[in-house]
Structure 1
Amino acid sequence: MTGKRLTGQVVLVTGAGQGIGQGIALALAKEGAHVALAGRTKAKCDLVAEEIESVGGTALSLACDVTDRSQVDRMVAETVEQFGSLHGLVNNAASSDQQLLEEVTDADVELCWRSGAMGTLYAMQAALPHLRAAGGGSIVNFGSSTAVYGNATFGAYAMAKEAIRGLSRVAAREWGRYGIRVNVVVPVAMSPASVEFSHKNPERFDAMRNSLALRRVGDCETDIGRAVVSLMSDDLSYLTGDTLMLTGGM
C-alpha cells in the first residue's frame, strides 16, 4: 500500500464492478480508504473487492440497482453499518443508449434518466446525513464528453448527464455550509465500452485517440482514479461545484 492520503476515510463507489468504477475503487483503496463497492452484478464487485484485499485494502461488496431508491438507501445504510461512517460518495453508475435523436423513445430517456440523474440524486440524498455527521466530505458525480460536445446518437444519455452537472452545482451551493464538496468528472478512459469499440472499429478508435492532445485514452485507475483520490482528499479542498475535464485534451 502506498500513499495513505485517505487513511480512515470511508468512500462508497457505485458502478464499481468494472471499468472506471473499478479503477476508482482501486485508487481509493491504495490511498488507505475503506471502499464500499456497489453494482447491479455483485459477483463483479466481489472480484474487485478481492483485488483490493490482495493489495492490503479493505472493501465491502454490495448489490444495488441505483434506479431503485430503496436499494440505494440500503446500500448507504449497509456501508455505514460496516464501516461506522461515510466520508465520500462516487456516483459512477449509469446506463447508456444510442439512437438518432428523431428515433429516441420515452423508454430510452427513462433508462438513462433513472440510472443516471435519479440514481445520483438518490445516493446523494441518502449520503447527506452521514456526510454531515462526519463533519463534511466529498461527492464526485460523473458527466460525459458526449453531452459536453453534443455527440450524435447520445441524445437521451446527454440529457441525463447534463442534468447531473446542474444537480451537482445546486448541491455544492446548498451543502457547502456543511463542509461537503460536490464536483463532476468528465472522463475519457478505456472503459469496457471503449475497449469494445476499439475492437469493433479500430480505425475510428485510432482516429479518436489521435484527436486527443495527449494521443492516448485514459487509464481507469491511474488517470481517472487518482484524480478522484485528489477530489476526495484535502488536495482539492477548495474546489466545489465545478467540472474536471479528464479528457486528454479532447
Structure 2
Amino acid sequence: MQLQGKVAVITGAAQGLGKATAVAMAKEGADTVVCDIQEDLLHEVAEEIEALGRRCLPVRCDVSSSREVTQLFERAVQEFGTVHILVNNAARVPINAAETERRNKHYAYVTTPVPRSSLGITSSLEDEDWLKWWDVNVHGVFYCTREALKFMEPQKYGKIVNITSIAGVSAASTHSPGYSASKAAVASLTKTVGFDVAGSNIYVNAIACGAVLTPALEEVLGVLSDEQKASIYQMIPLGRIGKPEEYASLAVYLAGDTHYLVGQVLNANGGIVI
C-alpha cells in the first residue's frame, strides 16, 4: 500500500491506460479523482474503485479548457483537502480514417521491401491536421500541472507523471507529425518543470509509452489484416503490444516515494526504442 493516504488526480481515466492507472493507484491505497469527457464510462470506473474500498470522485472535465481544469482541482480539494499525485494521461490519438491510411503507408514502408522515396505525409497535411493536437495533448498537460502545483508547492510534496509516447522521442509515428510534435512537447515540459519544482520536493517524470492495448488501438487493429498486424508485432522486440496494467505499474512506481528520478522520460515500449 505504497500510496496509502495520498490523493491522486488522473486525467483521461474513463478507459484504457487512464482507467488502469486509477485502479492500480487505488489498489495501492490512494483516493482518486478521475476525470474525462466520457462521463458515463467515468462513473463505471468510480464504482470499480469504490468496490476496492477507496474513495473516488468522478468529474467530467475537458482538460483543454483552463476554466474546467481549475474547477476540477477545486472539487478535488473540496472533497479530499489536497492533491499529492497528478497523472496527465488525457490525450488525442491518431485514429481517424486519414490517419489510419497514413499509418498503413508508413508501416508498409518500414516492414516491406519497397522503393525508397518521400512518403509525402508532412507536405500533404492541412492546418487542422497540425493544430488539433495541441489543445489536449499540450495545453491540457500544462493547465493541469499549473493547478496541481498550486497545492503541491505550499505543502512541499508532489508527484507528477506525464504520459507521453515514443512518438515524441523517435520517428515511430511518422504517419502523424502533429501528434509526434505534441508528445515531444510533453517530454520537454517534463524536463523543464521537473527542474523548476524539484527544490520543493516535487518529482516530475514521464512515461514514453509504446503501443498500449486500449480500446482506441483495438479499433485500429480491427481493420488490419493478419499480415499487417504481424508486421506491426515484428517491429516490437517483445513481439506484442503492452497491456494498460503494465504501464500503470510504472506510473504507480513514479507516484511513490522509493525513487530518485526527476525530469526523466522513461521509454516503456517493449524495446522499440532502446
State the TM bucket, normalised to the shorter chain: over 0.9
The farther-off stretch of 189-198 and 7-16 is 189-198
- CA deviations over 1:61-94 (Å, ceiling 9, x no partner): 0001111100011111111111111001011111
8 Å Cα contact 1:85/1:134 also seen in 2 = no
Q: What letter corresponds to residue 83 of structure 1 in structure 2?
A: F
**Closer, same or farther in 2 for the Cα pair 1:104/1:5, shift >3 Å?**
same
Q: Secondary structure at the match of 1:182?
A: strand
Let me know the Cα RMSD of the aligned residues: 1.4
- Aligned counterparts, 1:21-32, within 5 A: 21-32=18-29
8 Å Cα contact 2:168/2:187 also seen in 1 = no
Is residue 146 of structure 1 aligned with residue 156 of structure 2?
no
Report the counterpart of residue 74 of structure 1 in structure 2.
Answer: 71
**Closer, same or farther in 2 for the Cα pair 1:26/1:203, shift >3 Å?**
farther
Report the counterpart of residue 205 of structure 1 in structure 2.
Answer: 229
Report the counterpart of residue 118 of structure 1 in structure 2.
Answer: 139
What displacement does 1:249 show? 1.0
Residue 82 of structure 2: which of 82, 85, 101 is its match?
Answer: 85
**TM-score computed with the length of structure 2 as normaliser:** 0.85
Is residue 220 of structure 1 aligned with residue 241 of structure 2?
no
8 Å Cα contact 1:15/1:39 also seen in 2 = yes
Q: Secondary structure at the match of 1:239?
A: coil
- Aligned counterparts, 1:1-250, within 5 A: 4-97=1-94, 98=99, 100-150=121-171, 151-188=173-210, 189-201=212-224, 202-221=226-245, 223-236=246-259, 238-250=260-272
What displacement does 1:149 show? 2.1
- Which structure 2 segments of 5+ residues have no match? 103-120
User: How far apart in 1 are the matches of 2:229 and 2:18?
Assistant: 22
Q: Secondary structure at the match of 1:143?
A: strand
Q: What letter corresponds to residue 203 of structure 2 in structure 1?
A: R
8 Å Cα contact 1:86/1:134 also seen in 2 = no
Q: What letter corresponds to residue 59 of structure 2 in structure 1?
A: L
User: How far apart in 2 are the matches of 1:48 and 1:76?
Assistant: 19
The farther-off stretch of 99-108 and 44-53 is 99-108
- CA deviations over 1:179-225 (Å, ceiling 9, x no partner): 1111111113201222112221143223222332222211112x111
User: How far apart in 1 are the matches of 2:92 and 2:13?
Assistant: 13
Larger radius of gyration: 2
8 Å Cα contact 1:87/1:134 also seen in 2 = no
Q: Secondary structure at the match of 1:173?
A: helix
**TM-score computed with the length of structure 1 as normaliser:** 0.93
The farther-off stretch of 133-142 and 223-232 is 133-142
Q: Secondary structure at the match of 2:33?
A: strand
8 Å Cα contact 2:6/2:84 also seen in 1 = yes
What displacement does 1:108 show? 2.4
Q: Secondary structure at the match of 1:131?
A: helix
Q: Which runs of 4+ in 1 moved over 3 A?
A: none
What displacement does 1:152 show? 2.3
Q: What letter corresponds to residue 263 of structure 2 in structure 1?
A: G
